[in-house]
Amino acid sequence: YPAALNLFNETLNLIKKSKNSNNFFENQVLCHINIGNVHKLSNDLDLASKEFEKAIDLLVSNDKINQHLIIANINLGQTLVELKKYKKALLVYNNGLKVCIQIGSDMDLGFIYTVIAETYFKMNDKTKFDSFINKGKKLVKKSSYPNDLVYLNNVLHIDHTSKNQFDKGISYLLESVKICEKYKMDQHLLRTYTALSNAYKNINDTKNALKYSQN
């Protein structure tokens, strides 16, 4: 991570020294998004938030309404959720939603509805959760982007588990296993195996808990 951060910061310094820095505007935005991602991976969530905010400020101040603005808002929102700043996360997501409605695809809309739903779930607002998850579920399934399907299934698993509908919740994780295996998504598969092991452990199914732990 330190090496990655050094390279991204070196790139930003080169852009600042350039006589035509405006020609590298997109590179500048991407550097801030990627620096944010690196900080998030190393669990420096406050630093990650600041970098995503820099990317958003650059785009907004230069009147650049594009895909990078959607990505930066989603990344910032997810980071704020991890920091348990749910109300602030919703404000950020709503900004991203406006951009999605303006220029985004069904895939973008489906995912942002899903992460908004997840935030309301964490806030124990089940009415708004149901509203947004239904919108998200419809569009995510329509777009069929594997990563988003796995994310949606995880949110649905958590929801059904909270209602003591354990079998239904586990069925979404098993669906994710098939998706991960089909598209060779090893990191997502690892997380899904872990979630399955914990899910079976919660219902005292030691055999399956051990099976997925070993997987």
Which pLDDT belongs to residue 171? 98
Which pLDDT belongs to residue 78? 98
Q: What is the pLDDT of residues 164-208, one digit of tens each?
A: 999 999 999 999 999 999 999 999 999 999 999 999 999 999 999
Which pLDDT belongs to residue 8? 98
Cα separation, 14 vs 132, whole angstroms: 43
Average pLDDT value over all residues in the chain: 97
For residues 96-100, give the mean pLDDT: 96
For residues 3-12, give the mean pLDDT: 97
Cα separation, 202 vs 51, whole angstroms: 38
Which pLDDT belongs to residue 30? 97
The runs of H, that is alpha helices, within the chain are: 2-17, 25-41, 45-61, 67-82, 86-103, 106-122, 126-143, 146-162, 166-182, 186-202, 206-214
Q: What is the pLDDT of residues 14-63, one digit of tens each?
A: 999 999 988 999 999 999 999 999 999 999 999 999 999 999 999 999 99
Cα separation, 15 vs 21, whole angstroms: 5
Which pLDDT belongs to residue 21? 87
CA distances from 138 to 2, 105, 148, 151, 167 (A): 40, 13, 12, 14, 22
- Dihedral sign of CA atoms 67, 71, 74, 80 in order: negative
> What is the percentage of the chain residues whose pLDDT exceeds 90?
98
Which pLDDT belongs to residue 22? 87
**Closest residue by Cα to residue 118 from 104, 100, 131:** 131
Confidence of residue 113 (pLDDT cuts 50, 70, 90): very high
Is the pLDDT at 5 greater than 90, yes or no? Answer: yes
